[in-house]
Amino acid sequence: MGIEIKIIEGVEYILKTKYDSTIQGMDSRISKLSTQKNEAETSFQTLQQQLDDMAGKLGLVDNLQTQNQDLQSQLSQSNSRYDRHSLLSGIGINDDSQRKVFDMFYNSHVSSLGEGSEAPAFGDWVKGMQASPDSAPLVLRSAFTAPSQGQGTPAPSQGSPAPSQGTPAPAPQVQPAPPANYGVVGDSNTMTKNQILDRAASDTSFYKQNRDMVKHLHNPAKYPKPEAG
């Protein structure tokens, strides 16, 4: 509805009733706009709070997912160690230091594979050495071969006289074992490289006492020769 304007003596006049009505209408519209603005701001603040709450929950979910992945990784490592220990226990390897030797050689074998080559599983690697002990590293070979047994004295032939009961049979000569630790690192060493590695594979105490030397003999480029004590 338009505003009625009257011109008196060249001057435009608006009726007061119409003016008051127009002002009231404008105030009403301004009040409505102000109310809508306040409601919009309240809605915005509510939505912002909801977004903040959701962001916090998403952060908690991410944290829980990270913890779950860490736990899964730890579980996988524990299962892997259990499987390795069970496998090695089946071939008589129950000492922790000997298990570490197997781990060291396995990791060395995997790292030596060419790019694109698929690394064998630990169990398959061990079973391969069981099937072909000659392919195993020298220090591990004794774990897959049965200890040699001395041949018995051949029975006397029917024409040979039986030994006299009063004469004791000569005692078999036993090859003295190499010293446990003396001279392995020092200048007076009398053991060959193969003797040291074979002894370390079968003698846990010997391996612990001469661990640095065993590592040096296995990989001289990586492990320097230990100083004599």
Report pLDDT digits (tens) over 11-52. Answer: 777 666 666 777 777 888 898 888 998 999 899 989 988 888
Per-residue pLDDT reduced to its tens digit, 147-177: 555 444 444 555 555 555 555 555 555 444 4
Per-residue pLDDT, 12: 72
Contact 213, 185 (CB under 8 A): yes
Per-residue pLDDT, 185: 47
Question: In terms of pTM, does the model score above 0.85?
Answer: no
Is residue 181 scored above 50 in pLDDT? no
For residue 99, the tally of other CB atoms under 10 A from its CB is 16
Is residue 120 scored above 50 in pLDDT? yes
203 vs 10, higher pLDDT = 203
Contact 85, 99 (CB under 8 A): yes
| Per-residue buried b or exposed e for 169-189, using 16+ beta carbons within 10 Å of the residue's own CB | eeeeeeeeebeebeebbeeeb
d(CA 146, CA 215): 25
5 vs 155, higher pLDDT = 5
What is the per-residue DSSP string for 4-59? PEEEETTEEEE-HHHHHHHHHHHHHHHHHHHHHHHHHHHHHHHHHHHHHHHHHHHH
Contact 5, 12 (CB under 8 A): yes
d(CA 51, CA 226): 63
- Mean pLDDT calculated for residue range 52-78: 78
